[in-house]
Chains A and B, each alone.
Chain A
Amino acid sequence: MQNATRIAARLADLKARGKKGFIAYVTGGDPSLAATEDIILRLEDAGVDVVELGVPFSDPLADGPTIQAAAGRALAAGATWSRLMGMVARLRRRSEVPLLLFSYLNPLLVRGFDRTARDAASAGADGFLILDLPVEEAAKNFQTLDRLNLDHVGLVTPTSPAERIKRIVAASSGFVYCVSREGVTGVQQQLAPGAVKLLKATRRLTKLPVALGFGIATPQHAAAAVQEADAVVVGSAIVDRFHQAQHTATGRAAAARWVGTLVRAVKKV
């Protein structure tokens, strides 16, 4: 990797200061791209370190009802790839917040993966996390991302044996995402018991920062997650809050304040 991306730089800076990271997920275009732009700026103000920006897809098989519905709203409102990249480019004039594109493979392949990656790089995105692209299938795509200095974040899960984890972390850049439990995205009541074991196993195999996500929804969860992890990812709970806020300015401000309580819980650890 030539230069550290915004993602890698931010996580390295946190580590140097002995701080934990907070990663927030939002679906691009839910309920409009202008709303997403505003939400990302509010998340940044609330202290979020990295934003995972979901590329909406019609058939999101790894997502639970909350993010499925968000993707449906985004597509219905006309979120296309070029409009999404237009929003990222506009955002970049006002913000240096690290942006990780979170996507399924098919919407990235349709215009050619190389062109998709170039679009992302020139708009100012910092990397990709591709949910249905396991390491066995990824070599060529990851080379493309490397050439453009874009991160490719790998996922490890409770079903991944040590040799797979080794292979996945070796093919990752930016950070490694530990999926805390078996299942789809969505809020759950407790941190899964296998999560700590997976984090420890992963950490033994890589120097990259390790983030924990899937199902985290409260300040207590978030704080518990970063006892072991370098960063926590919160997705469905945030999507839900902003959706409930009905996209009034005061509603969004309240949702962002709520995210702020999670961020502070993480920063205290």
Chain B
Amino acid sequence: MSRNVNKSAGQPGRFGPYGGMFVPEILMEPLRALEGEWRAAMRDTQFKRELNDLLRQYVGRPTPLYHAARMSAALGPEIYLKREDLCHTGAHKINNSLAQCLLAKRMGKTRVIAETGAGQHGVATATCAALFGLECVVYMGKVDMERQALNVFRMQALGAKVVSVTAGQQTLKEAISEAMRDWVTNVHHTHYVLGTAYGAHPYPGMVREFQSVIGREARRQILAQAGRLPDALIACVGGGSNSIGLFHPFLKDRGVAMIGVEAGGLGIRSGQHAARFAEGRVGVLQGTRTYVLQDDEGQIRLTHSVSAGLDYAAVGPEHAWLHDIQRAEYSYITDDEAMDAFHKLARWEGILAALESIHAVAWVIKHTCRRWTKKDVLIINLSGRGDKDVQQIAAWEQAHRKA
């Protein structure tokens, strides 16, 4: 069983040696205030009731745990899909955005900011900002704005300002840095809605709590539907929020394996990937100590994935810990394998999944026959829907047919 947050001698927000608060001094007090407010809110029955009501009536929870019969028949084990793609706005991201925007309102903040890679977290935050009448600014890398153009339009339609970030490789990492720069400048009236279980304490623990609704529901649902706990949970890992949200409520269930799937991009040997556990080294990036893709100088490496939401050089600190204590295992899927799985799932189940989520599906397709049989039960977190990706997939296919 994993040791939990806050168990390391006196230092806040630790997961074993990982996590912590590696931020400029200017953010230390705002982060402490945020932690205090979060903990107070979690003891406040009215806050919890308001959040739960909105999760039910606005987000559409609980999301179904769907038995994928044709996929199961094709692959062997009984496969269930946790349908986070059916959440309002089309991904799990809104579980966290909703709770954090409610927290921002409670703190008297009038403005929220967010970073986004695939655009799903930006859309979710823009949505909740509209719901609560908050001003919203979303930072997004220029490259991501191009490959997720549909989501840029959605955010703008929801009243958010989308700021194009042109530094570095113009993807998620630079968007986070730019959001942090905004936050240090406007910290009095602004809350930073970080979109994944990453960054300085209290974010990794707080986002995990807000996303754990996925695992709590799935655990109840699988017991009701399959009559037993699953043999394995499989989820994609960008920063790590949909995966930790699914995994966490099962941590004490020793027989339940957990597999986090990272972006293998063009393959590990190509150097163009975002598989932090394949080639990352322990370092400190954007507030936390964790596995980071970096060079011998400690400069952060460029990453690549066809999936914008997985295209990031570091991984949430709790995953680093689960990896080291071997409570979870981590693997990767390449762009090619993901594209192939996208079509397979579409034909088997009539579901177009997000390119992020499809990495988890592809891992099951690739590895199931070696590890599980008909008697086994698997849950895949289908973290989002694929509407945002169809143009990119079409373009990818055209390029690869030519090649």
Contacts and interface: CB of A to CB of B under 8 A. Distances in A.
Interface of A: 57-62, 64, 68, 75, 80-81, 105-111, 131-134, 136-137, 154-161, 164, 168, 179, 182-184
Q: Which 3 A-B pairs have the closest CB atoms?
A: A110-B298, A107-B298, A183-B185
B331 interface: no
23 contacts: A58-B299, A59-B285, A59-B286, A60-B177, A61-B176, A80-B297, A105-B284, A106-B292, A107-B297, A109-B298, A110-B283, A136-B11, A136-B12, A158-B26, A159-B27, A159-B187, A160-B26, A164-B25, A164-B29, A183-B184, A183-B185, A184-B184, A184-B185
A107 B292 CA distance: 12
Interface in B264-317: 281, 283-287, 292, 294, 296-300
Contacts of B25: 134, 154-157, 159-160, 164, 168, 179
Interface of B: 11-12, 20-30, 167-168, 173-174, 176-177, 180-181, 184-188, 281, 283-287, 292, 294, 296-300
Given A132-B287, A161-B29, A182-B26, 6 more contacts: A57-B299, A59-B177, A110-B283, A159-B29, A159-B187, A179-B25
A106 B298 contact: yes
A110 to B, nearest CB: 3
A228 to B, nearest CB: 19
Contacts of B173: 59
Contacts of B177: 59-61
Given A59-B177, A110-B294, A110-B298, A131 B24 contact: yes
A155 B294 contact: no
Contact of A160 (B12, B28, B176, B298): B28
B268 to A, nearest CB: 20
Given A75-B299, A184-B185, A132 B23 contact: yes
A137 B21 CA distance: 7
A62 B285 contact: no
Main SS at interface, chain B: mixed
Nearest to B299: A58
Contacts of B287: 132
A136 B21 contact: yes
Contacts of A157: 24-26
B252 to A, nearest CB: 30
- Max chain B CB contacts within 10 Å: which of A158, A179, A182? A182
B18 to A, nearest CB: 12
Nearest to A185: B181
A106 B285 contact: yes
- Max chain B CB contacts within 10 Å: which of A159, A168, A183? A159
B35 to A, nearest CB: 13
Contact of B26 (A64, A106, A108, A159): A159
Contacts of B21: 134, 136-137
A155 B25 CA distance: 7
A116 to B, nearest CB: 9
A83 B240 CA distance: 37
Contacts of A161: 29
A101 to B, nearest CB: 14
B199 to A, nearest CB: 11
A109 B284 contact: yes
B5 to A, nearest CB: 15
Nearest to B285: A106
A156 B300 CA distance: 27
Contacts of B281: 110
Contacts of A184: 181, 184-185
B297 A81 contact: yes
Nearest to A64: B181
A37 to B, nearest CB: 20
